[in-house]
Amino acid sequence: MEIGITGFGIMGPGFNNSDQFRDILFNKSFVLKKENIFGKYTYLGRVLEEDIDISSYPKEFSHLPKTAKMLLHTAREAIKMANIELSKHRTAVLVGSSGGTISEIIKLNDKKDRSPYTIGNMNNYSLSSSLSAAFGLNGMSFTLNNSCTSGMDAIHLAKILLESNQVDVCLVGATDSTLESLILGGFSDLRLLQLWREEGFPHGPFSKGKGFMISEGAGVLVLERADIPDREPSCIYGKITRSLLTQDGLSAYRSDPLGKQLKCAIDYCIFENFPTYINSQALGIKRIDELEAKLYRQKFKSTNIPITSIKGMVGHSMGAIGLFQIVSALISIRDNFIPPTLFCDTEQHPGVPIVTDVIFQLVEKVLITSQGYGGSNNCLMIEKGKS
């Protein structure tokens, strides 16, 4: 069963729609800002509240947490692109988020900030239920909190629902906003945040850095079965051909340093079907990036398939990053270019063809990889659709 992506929407630090996101990827723009966290400077990618537009929704939606508002903002772009009335079809809503509404819980800890909306906003299910309510959808609705693979995991579940003919359409989103002092302090204690460098250039993916640059944002996709009655999409931007999620099963606090289950996911998605390039998980943590580089050398040593990571430009948006990667892949398939890896150090990974500048070429297939805290892994292959 062919599963097509007919619409997508995106927002993150410095971009409010897919056109602005495309410009960042194309122009090698660095959109994160220097901020002081506990006496140390790091790089953060914030979404400004004034850039989130939910004015077309009922007034009640203004009380939702930021993560839900970003979903509503991006859903409007995705649904308009797909040119579909979701309520006329068997539609499921699936949302992935690593932090869920944790930022809202932190903000509401003080008694004086409580309101009749407090309980609803503390509920992670409000992320998917807000989309269901916004578009009058009465079918299945899920919120997945599977660490940083959450967005990709939601797509995997959507694929299962579509292929088993339980639904015709899936509205799949991912969102995260975790830039609170408690969370940033936790990552700082683990020494996982990229610190400001006086030279003015951070350590990016595939470098000798030991920390990542954290950001926030949201993305939404419209996924459809190919055989919906009386429905002929004007454009299919991509097809999800294979996907697999795995779990290392070793610890709640770390992932497998050998990456055996990540390799299983990659092997399953490749299946003698090599991609044009790989949109990699690499985020700037040396031990994780080295693991991926090693796997790529082993798997693709004779193919010279380009490897890139967009996180040097837009940061790591936690559970939303999978949607960032997928939308960037859809844009590169549509516009025929491979986005670069910013602030990498190719000397650290000899034999790995890391993309350091925009490559203009026909893009037919993109392999996307993701890993999460606690040993989650996800990998999927997107192919060119029909325009």
Smallest Cα–Cα separation from 283: which of 255, 251, 245? 255
Residue 243 has what pLDDT? 96
What is the reported pLDDT for 110? Answer: 60
Global pTM reads 0.96
Which pLDDT value is given to residue 26? 96
Q: What is the per-residue pLDDT for 13?
A: 98
Across the chain, which has 387 residues, the per-10-residue mean pLDDT values are 94 98 97 89 94 96 96 98 96 97 79 77 93 97 96 97 97 96 88 81 88 96 92 92 95 89 94 92 91 88 90 97 98 98 91 95 97 94 91
Q: Enumerate domains of the chain plus CATH numbers.
A: 3-225 (3.40.47.10), 240-384 (3.40.47.10)
Quick check: helix, strand or coil at residue 354? strand
What integer pLDDT is reported at residue 272 of this predicted model?
Answer: 77
Cα(41)–Cα(238) distance, rounded to whole angstroms?
A: 39
At residue 108, the pLDDT reads 73
**Predicted pLDDT of residue 112:** 66
Place of tokens 């939910």: 54
Q: What is the separation of C-alpha 88 from the centre of its chain, rounded to a whole number of angstroms?
A: 28
Determine the pLDDT at residue 54.
97
DSSP output for 257-281: TT-HHHHHHHHHHHTT---SEEE--
Residues 6+ apart with CB under 8 A from 176: 67, 97, 98, 99, 216, 217, 218, 317, 318, 319, 320
Give, as one character, the DSSP assignment of residue 59: G
Tens of pLDDT, residues 149-207: 999 999 999 999 999 999 999 999 999 999 998 899 888 888 888 888 766 778 899 99
Buried b (16+ CB within 10 A) or exposed e, 115-135: eebeebbebbebbbbbbbbbb
DSSP assignment of 155-203, as one string? HHHHHHHHHTTS-SEEEEEEEE---SHHHHHHHHHTT-BPBP-TTS---
Amino acid at the residue 272: E
Q: What's the CA gap between 107 and 101, in Å, rounded?
A: 10
DSSP conformational letter for 288: H
Residue 117 has what pLDDT? 83
